[in-house]
Structure 1
């Protein structure tokens, strides 16, 4: 009898200890405990970017799937990644311009989304739920998306993983693509642990052929934007922010909505920046973002192609869709693109303009810019990437440019980054104007980039 009592006390003690340990692990961030390694197995597999991967898409009715690609409806297939087979996986075409431009060019080399758990929730790729396979139709360098994500990640910004892969269809060569980690639960766990916050993306909807509404990724959008996409405060009504709430990537409650709106309000009022923003992460984001001169983004005319992360009432930016960066979206004048001012902020973009409103944060921004330039060997990154992918680009059976055009594009990209670095260093030390008005008044001080042509990095077939 006494033995049973003793065992009962031990069992109760172990149960209490287990509950305490579980609670400590779950609330580790709040308790000041460091999270355990958040790495996911798929990082070391498909997103090992030291090598080129192989993805074989197996589908009996592939021709029918391609013929109806513009419907953007999921179809079932088998995906074989580096020899590993995953059956009953969902795949669909993706993108807006990347899809229509490919069709207009007479090509079926579309970008795709692969959703492992679309049909069966238990299916995943070593913890990964979704990937994008980008056709790089607008990018003759094959590197813009990849470089931007690498720069962001290296500089401490939560950024999607990416790697290069040869795509096969039923064992036959299809094309050379960039695989990009989907920004969903696996991304959140990898970057923030199991106790992650909320993820939002501004987007619209479109009608599918079967009458169902389909969520659109930022890169699927056209002109369907509302003012709140700029992150301007409208009012306290959650309906005014439906572009975020209706398409949140995480489950959100009324409290989450209230907290989100409160953060937007305080951001716009210019109050308590450190309370409503992860100031360091946001500044690091804009350092890299401004370096790569991406007009097809939050700081562009349409204010799109970004994700917003919120945790405990603090917001930060997550990069997405940089395939038309390095001046290729909105510039043709190379000198203007290379010298885009780093201290200019759009007044109707509060997530960016707050940096310039406070001298403390402006100095922090400039200090981080110096750290970024000093720590980044962009020329080496471009060289290493070119060594890795050039043989595959040359053999790419469906590429949108010639191999010679690719080589010229890479050289132009490398030169652009060299000149961009030179211009920003000058802007930081005051020898080159760092605002639009000052540059207009002193054009002679700008870095001359007339020896390169922005269009050499673009798909020339789409320019005709």
Structure 2
């Protein structure tokens, strides 16, 4: 009997080890499987690596790009990524506020979009069809977007892959950019296992998701990126109806994921988003009639799009100094509003020389004119924000939202977490920032912004710790305690040192702002 018991014990122990090994192997193999199925993740978005990209473009095309950046023309170029060259791929400028702001300055440091199969159908970079190269405009730390995606990814929010990339153009230094995976069919397949649903990039009338009837022509800002010829818009109409009524939300929306998204954007004081007057910089993806929200464009996170106190219970309140919110304490509203206005003046004063605040950060209509319907306080829609108002009006969902804010304050916006990620990132990119030929800020300013000192108002660590304290105080029934205007680095908007050297005989060309063309054009060298 003793031998039988020992045999059974050994057998059960062996089975336990097999099960444990299977579970561990399963986790690892899933990560390995994703890397194998989408090899661009290892080749371009490996953690802790600064990539090298050289863009070869003709003198004529570069001069045309610099002279007409707002046309967003596609040019045929050769791109070498980490030593591997892809020929005859497409390159254009990209951006919204960033593009117009840089175009109206003395800088040529544009963000770029690379399209690998625009001229050669089927061409790709290890499975990647397109690539965004963001210029870190308005971000003296070079880290806002990178860290924002990192935190949201760890919270389970679907985010694009990112990596730092050192850019040269025709072999000449051009600067440190952030490479960002586009939200397209490849991203959808990788993230959701499916790309057949409707993908929207809202920007304009309808982006607020306010229901205006069943006629899709009433929502020109709900820009459909997939199924353009087949979708009837019924799914997103059902979403807006549910947001209006507050009923059946789970059937049309991944409510838990959206609450995580809202909590993250509130904590990041990211107002160049659905929360703010612009009401844009997000995607909606539908699967079987149910939508998920995908975040986008975070160079203005960490309070970069305006200063004030962030009320977690009224996160779309753009005065950001009114306080009270859900608690109804408005006694000091006038004084707080005045303080917010003064803070805004300070921020304007701190814009780097030669640069202007993006037009739609503050949109005052001329005297005697009314704001066009759908524009609300900015470019994206009305003052209604049902994605926020409807969800937070329900006690159960409000409690979930509060739990995610508490998670951010206790896990991510701690001095330990932020100091580590800021220090590690700064160490990785500092050599590239120091030699950045087109930088919007000085290297000394970067060193201040990348400080891990939680008491330094230039540092992202200071912002995070201060915001965490404010969140926790509000969760406990108190008022906001952190005015983002005191965050010095966030107040700086952009800037530009124009490159001192020409590229292979290309002349620097002065540019002026203009209207973006409705249709993109292409230019192929003879």
224, 227, 239: which is aligned to 2:217? 239
Question: Is 1:274 aligned with 2:272?
Answer: no
Q: 1:414-448, CA deviations, whole angstroms, 9 ceiling, x for partnerless residues?
A: 21111111211222233x32xxxxx5xxxxxx247
Counterpart in the other structure of 2:521:
none
- Pair 1:448–1:282, CA change in 2 (3 A): closer
- 1:277-292 equivalences in 2 (<5 Å): 277-292=253-268
Count residues with an aligned counterpart.
387
TM-score normalised by L of structure 1: 0.78
Query: Equivalents in 2 of 1:86, 1:196: separation in Å?
Result: 29
SS in 2 for 1:49: coil
- 1:209-228 equivalences in 2 (<5 Å): 225-226=204-205, 228=206
**Contact 1:408 1:456 (8 Å CA) reproduced:** no
- Aligned-residue RMSD, C-alpha: 2.4
Counterpart in the other structure of 2:400:
364
**Contact 1:136 1:323 (8 Å CA) reproduced:** yes
- Distance apart, 1:153 and its partner CA: 1.1
- Distance apart, 1:74 and its partner CA: 0.1
Counterpart in the other structure of 1:211:
none
Query: Equivalents in 2 of 1:123, 1:313: separation in Å?
Result: 32
- Distance apart, 1:53 and its partner CA: 0.5
Counterpart in the other structure of 1:161:
161
- Distance apart, 1:85 and its partner CA: 1.1
Q: 1:266-301, CA deviations, whole angstroms, 9 ceiling, x for partnerless residues?
A: 121111121111011101111111111011111101
Counterpart in the other structure of 2:444:
404
**Contact 1:35 1:193 (8 Å CA) reproduced:** no
- 1:64-83 equivalences in 2 (<5 Å): 64-83=64-83
- Distance apart, 1:251 and its partner CA: 1.1
441, 449, 453: which is aligned to 2:488? 453
5+ unaligned residues in a row in structure 2: which ranges?
1-29, 317-382, 452-457, 498-526
SS in 2 for 1:156: coil
Structure 1 runs (4+) deviating above 6 angstroms are 448-451
Counterpart in the other structure of 1:58:
56
Counterpart in the other structure of 1:417:
464
**Contact 2:463 2:487 (8 Å CA) reproduced:** yes
Query: Equivalents in 2 of 1:455, 1:364: separation in Å?
Result: 29
**Contact 1:141 1:457 (8 Å CA) reproduced:** no
TM-score normalised by L of structure 2: 0.69
Query: Equivalents in 1 of 2:102, 2:294: separation in Å?
Result: 27
- 1:38-117 equivalences in 2 (<5 Å): 38-39=34-35, 40-61=38-59, 62-117=62-117
Question: Is 1:342 aligned with 2:312?
Answer: yes
Q: Which moved more, 1:59-68 or 1:401-410?
A: 59-68
Counterpart in the other structure of 1:209:
none
Q: Which moved more, 1:319-328 or 1:446-455?
A: 446-455
Query: Equivalents in 2 of 1:304, 1:280: separation in Å?
Result: 20
- Distance apart, 1:97 and its partner CA: 3.0
5+ unaligned residues in a row in structure 1: which ranges?
1-33, 204-224, 434-438, 440-445
Q: 1:76-104, CA deviations, whole angstroms, 9 ceiling, x for partnerless residues?
A: 11111001111111100112332333233
SS in 2 for 1:274: helix
- Pair 1:252–1:271, CA change in 2 (3 A): farther
Give the helix-richer structure, 1 or 2. 1
- Distance apart, 1:253 and its partner CA: 6.0
Query: Equivalents in 2 of 1:316, 1:257: separation in Å?
Result: 16
- Distance apart, 1:460 and its partner CA: 5.9
